[in-house]
Amino acid sequence: MSTGAELYKIEAITALKYGLSGLLTPNIRAFEEAGLKYIDILEKAQRDGMGQVVEDALAQFKASLKKKKERRAFDELEVFINLMKIKDPFEGWRAIGKVVSERWPKGLDCVKAVREMRRR
């Protein structure tokens, strides 16, 4: 692996560790900053033709996590990265819609959800 690729890998893993730590602490600001930093590193690496190195670093880091709590938190970091990678706000909106619909309680419609929130 070239020095440039090594550097991208180290930077990516550092960002992912920081993001995971932010979720576990929890420190929401740190989690968001680290996720955005990872995206920044990925985009720079892609411009240098080394995007795969950064993507592989994420897969390797994920595979190295042993504790269930860490794996669950990392899944959320990965969702954040995938959602924030999308530049177009309407594409982002559609992507959120897909994720929200998969995580929404069955049988709860949006009018009831808003009504319940306004009552409490």
Partner 1 sequence: MEDIVLDSNLLLGYFLPQDPHHQRGQSYVNGLENGDYRFHLPMLVLVEVTSVISRQAQKDRLALLARWRKIFEDWERDGRIALYELDRQRMVNAQNVAEQYRLKGADSVIAALAGELNISLRTSDAEILARFLGSSV
The binding site for partner 1 (CB under 8 A) comprises 23, 26, 28, 31-32, 35, 75-77, 79-80, 83-84, 89-90, 92-93, 95-97, 99-101, 103-105, 108-111, 113-115, 117-118
**108: part of which helix (H) or strand (E)?**
none
- Report in angstroms how near the CB of residue 49 gets to partner 1 at its nearest: 28
Q: Which is nearer to partner 1, 68 or 105 (CB)?
A: 105
Q: Which is nearer to partner 1, 17 or 94 (CB)?
A: 94
Do residues 8 and 45 lie in contact, with contact meaning Cβ atoms separated by under 8 Å? Answer: yes
- Report in angstroms how near the CB of residue 21 gets to partner 1 at its nearest: 14
3-class SS letters over 44-90: HHHHCCCHHHHHHHHHHHHHHCCCHHHHHHHHHHHHHHHHHCCCCHH
- Report in angstroms how near the CB of residue 50 gets to partner 1 at its nearest: 26
Do residues 13 and 35 lie in contact, with contact meaning Cβ atoms separated by under 8 Å? Answer: no
Q: Which is nearer to partner 1, 17 or 115 (CB)?
A: 115
CA distances from 48 to 1, 9, 88 (A): 14, 13, 23
- Report in angstroms how near the CB of residue 40 gets to partner 1 at its nearest: 15
